[in-house]
A and B are shown apart, each in its own frame.
Chain A
Amino acid sequence: MASTLRLYSTCIRNTLEAAMCLQNFPCQEVERHNKPEVELKTSPELILNPVLICRNEAEKCLIETSINSLRISLKVKQADELENILTKKFLRFLSMRAEAFQVLRRKPVPGYDISFLITNYHCEDMQKGKLIDFIIQFMEDIDKEISELKMSVNTRGRLVAAEFLKQFI
């Protein structure tokens, strides 16, 4: 189990190192504007082919690059209904605070749970290696956090139910 995670994150890391070659590029459609081309998609020659990396049917990662921006969308493993709800709420909590993370996208790409948008300005301000480390770390820790949350929900549920039913003994 752990070995597939290692392979998955190594594959994503290598793809990101190749994809994160971004440069400042002014918009071809609108004068004096500078927009992330991967979001705009108006000039097909400026967008590269998207790469989809699947760990299994439930977990995948879509990496779309363009000349000045890169979009990474993750789908997290959700085994049951409870994990479904927890993932949605937790990732929504993070996405709403996207300004604090700078590279996070406010809404995930349809079909995925969370998305990052990295532009050339981020690559100029921050080191590429650390950006990639952050994304991989995020991915690896999401699973841990969700299972911790699930465990704490179950534990609390058990304690509350035990206390409640004690009055009927």
Chain B
Amino acid sequence: MSAVSVHQLSQCITCHAWSPDHSMIALCPNNNEVHIYKMSEDKWERAHVLQKHDQIVSGIDWGSTSNKIVTVSHDRNSYVWSLEGSEWVPTLVILRLNRAALCTQWSPQENKFAVGSGAKTVCICYYEQENNWWVSKLIRKRHNSSVTSVSWHPNNILLATTSTDGKCRVFSTFIKGVDKRDSKASSSSEAKFGEQIVQLDLSYSWAFGVKWSPSGNTLAYVGHNSMIYFVDDVGPSPLAQNVALRNLPLRDVLFISEKVVIGVGYDCNPMVFAADESGIWSFVRFLVETKTVSSAPTYGSQFSEAFGKFYGQSKYGASNDGMDNSRQGGVHHNCINCILPLKEPGVASVRRFSTSGLDGKVVIWHLGNQEDLLR
């Protein structure tokens, strides 16, 4: 059993991000604001509220070296917030989007960030010193549907995207003046901006949650058809593996190490996947041990009583009836949609990570005594 600490910070959390020292968390409580909570004496206090967006904030990322927060929203805007004194000051980002922005991530060197949008485009933004704003270059006409998730390769040039057309694509995002051509790297440095390196058409349903392994050799993403895909040697001849799940689909994944992946989704319980020595990936177990409860609630109520029960209980049932009606008896009671690592400096593999979900909880998991996962 992994040690957990559960924090109920809101009624429903869209996404979250940690500060570089993990003392503060920025999250969106399913509205147009970003709340920053600070941990002080075992309690969470709301330190700042960032209010600039008009619609729900769909993506937040906190740069660990630059200490800047990037937020994107369904109102087609994005802001980069920097801490000046004790206030967070927004900097304008020229995104040139005509539909909602869905996801965002800082590049490993934090000189660029990527935004996936419902306009079927990906914006790569970099800072322009002369005008004090962030400008974007768009990757257009490559996606057939909304881009749901983006992930940077450790070399700061390659970007993987997933889309609701079921495909995962890898692009080169080399920008002259921002990136330096690496004479050692072979294929990625020849590619121009927006050039598609590889397109993976493995899922026949929507694809979410793409992530690179720490070395950048393996790519993992999930499909809504309850499958998770692992691709090794991304390049001209990739090796793909599918793992089919017997449960509800996943939403996001995280690489703990080169060989272990944690997936989270509609089951409200993180799932562990591992690769054995020959490189074959498979499902290991759920993180929270579940007792199989046969849920056949015996309702003897009349029709009108059923309405009253639904209206009176279901709306507020999350807090009181959580234990006996939650199918898994796990920690989260609603879909988990975001998983982030809590990296300790100097340690290669991830020992702690956090998940947030639609039940408004942020749960910090600790893999301290799971020796088989920390190989």
Select which of B98, B302, B335 is within 8 A of A21 by beta carbon.
B335
A141 to B311, CA, bound (A): 17
Contact present for B74 and A32 (CB under 8 Å): yes
Assess A34 versus B74: contact at CB under 8 Å? Given A45-B145, A125-B315, A127-B314.
yes
Interface size class for chain B?
35 or more
- Which label, helix, strand, loop or mixed, suits the secondary structure of the A interface? helix
Q: At the interface with chain B, which of A23-31, A56-64, A69-77, A153-161?
A: A23-31
* Chain B interfacial positions (CB closer than 8 Å to A): 12, 14, 30, 55-56, 58, 74-76, 98-100, 102, 118-120, 144-146, 164-166, 205-206, 224, 248-249, 251, 265-266, 295, 297, 299, 301-303, 306-307, 310-311, 313-315, 317-318, 321, 325-327, 333-335, 337, 358
For the complex, count residues of A whose C-beta is within 8 A of B.
Answer: 35
Select which of B224, B306, B327 is within 8 A of A137 by beta carbon.
B306
Q: How far is the CB of A144 from chain B (nearest CB, A)?
A: 7
* Chain A interfacial positions (CB closer than 8 Å to B): 17-18, 21, 23-28, 31-32, 34, 43, 45-46, 48, 67, 100-101, 123-131, 133-134, 137-138, 141, 144-145
- Which label, helix, strand, loop or mixed, suits the secondary structure of the B interface? loop
A138 to B206, CA, bound (A): 32
Residues of A within 8 A of B205 (CB): 48
A–B complex contacts, Cβ < 8 Å, 14 sampled: A18-B248, A25-B146, A26-B102, A27-B118, A28-B119, A32-B76, A34-B74, A43-B145, A45-B144, A45-B206, A124-B358, A126-B314, A127-B325, A137-B299
Residues of B within 8 A of A133 (CB): 297, 299
Contact present for B303 and A131 (CB under 8 Å): no
Q: How far is the CB of B142 from chain A (nearest CB, A)?
A: 15
Contact present for A24 and B14 (CB under 8 Å): yes
A21 to B248, CA, bound (A): 8
Contact present for B310 and A46 (CB under 8 Å): no
